[in-house]
A = this chain, B = another copy of it.
Amino acid sequence: MESKIKVSIVGVTGYTGSELVRLLVRHPQVELLELEGRSAAGQPLGNVFPHLAPLGLSVKEKLERPAEADFIFLGLPHHASAERAAEIFEQAPNTRIIDLSADFRLRDRTTYEKWYGEHHAPYLLPEALYGLPELYRKQVTANTRLVANPGCYPTCSSLALAPALSEKIIEPYVVINALSGTSGAGRGLKQNLHYSEMHDSASAYGLEGHRHAPEITQILTDVNQQAKVTVSFTPHLMPLARGMLATCSARLSPEWLAQYSANPNAAIRTLYSNFYAGEQFVRIVTTPPTTKEVFGSNYCFLYPTVDIEAGRLVVISVIDNLVKGAAGQAIQNMNLLSGLPESLGLEALGIYP
């Protein structure tokens, strides 16, 4: 029997950290080694997250054996994450890190620093792999030891637009309206996330610029073979805890519209189905998907359609922001780097109703 993958988690008291625990304990090839979480150091994990109490796990102030881990997942805020990654690589240069923060997502340090301030470990940027397997799988090498796990909005939006941009059938000027549940905003208390105020409430935010916009731009520009794509991105909070829906649109090229005028919807569906042929987690669905259909799962459901009147492609994309948008995709990356089937431990279906 092959030995299991040894995994430690840093930042286990946040939502991405706890979601990693929930998923990894069910992964057949993983052994959970250590859990780090400063705010609950020395406590049972169940004190912080009663749903995890049956596991009987404890939280440490700091990992004691980082070098014993094959993978360390970081579920920390930005800056803290870059610092901890640097520290871990010093102690354990052969351990692989999957970072769920924004610290290594933007290849360009200047862009990063515009949005987040000074980078705390810029020398690691060149070796970071952007971990959106469906679009960047080929970049994995035997030496990859640092994965920047994508943001939830970029995952949801880019999967929706990549086929059309890749085939150059839309104008490289896209409009993305995305709705997110509140868990994406984390566990920290804020007035607008106070239940009484968020309940029954929908709102746009980040209208003066959102940190996920440059990340989306980077991906779409990659997909568009380096021709710059302009992204107008408007995120919204909607009253649910978990779930994300992106409505992504752009003008279709007149040539494409002319060529497929007989049945543009069939044509666009074929294009999308071909692009994602063989992908286990991306499904082209036949009715507009709801966030509930992928709740708790690692799926991305896509519904591409053509607005004939406006000559516009409109793609609806749904994911669970904490699974495909965070912890699930991180595990998919671990599987990918380990040579395992990408879906191992991620087979759960959506929980419905």
Contact = CB atoms under 8 A, between A and B. Distances in A.
A299 interface: yes
A209 interface: yes
A3 interface: no
Contacts of A151: none
B349 A25 contact: yes
B353 A199 contact: yes
Contacts of A294: 51
Interface in A58-73: none
B193 A190 contact: no
B213 A234 contact: no
A241 interface: yes
Contact of A239 (B182, B193, B239): B239
A349 B309 contact: no
Contact of A236 (B247, B309, B353): B247
A211 interface: no
B22 A242 contact: no
A173 B352 CA distance: 37
Given A234-B247, A245-B202, A195 B182 contact: yes
Given A194-B195, A195-B195, A243-B202, A289 B50 contact: yes
A336 interface: no
A353 B183 contact: yes
A236 B179 contact: yes
B236 A249 contact: no
Contacts of A201: 240, 243, 290-292
Nearest to A190: B189
Given A196-B353, A283-B53, A285-B50, A310 B179 contact: no
Interface string A230-246: 11101010111111010
Given A202-B243, A293-B50, A179 B238 contact: yes
A352 B292 contact: no
Interface string A22-51: 100110000000000000000000000111
Nearest to A348: B26
A26 B195 contact: no
Nearest to A214: B309
A205 B287 CA distance: 9
A340 interface: no
Given A179-B179, A316-B207, A353-B241, A50 B287 contact: yes
A140 interface: no
Contacts of A278: none
B194 A349 contact: no
A8 interface: no
Interface string A165-202: 00000000101010101110101011101111111111
27 contacts: A22-B349, A22-B351, A51-B297, A51-B352, A54-B283, A177-B177, A179-B179, A182-B195, A182-B199, A185-B196, A189-B189, A193-B195, A193-B196, A194-B194, A195-B241, A197-B292, A201-B243, A201-B291, A203-B291, A204-B314, A230-B309, A232-B307, A238-B238, A238-B239, A239-B239, A296-B296, A296-B351
Given A53-B285, A175-B175, 9 more contacts: A15-B196, A183-B353, A187-B196, A193-B194, A197-B292, A202-B238, A202-B245, A207-B303, A232-B307
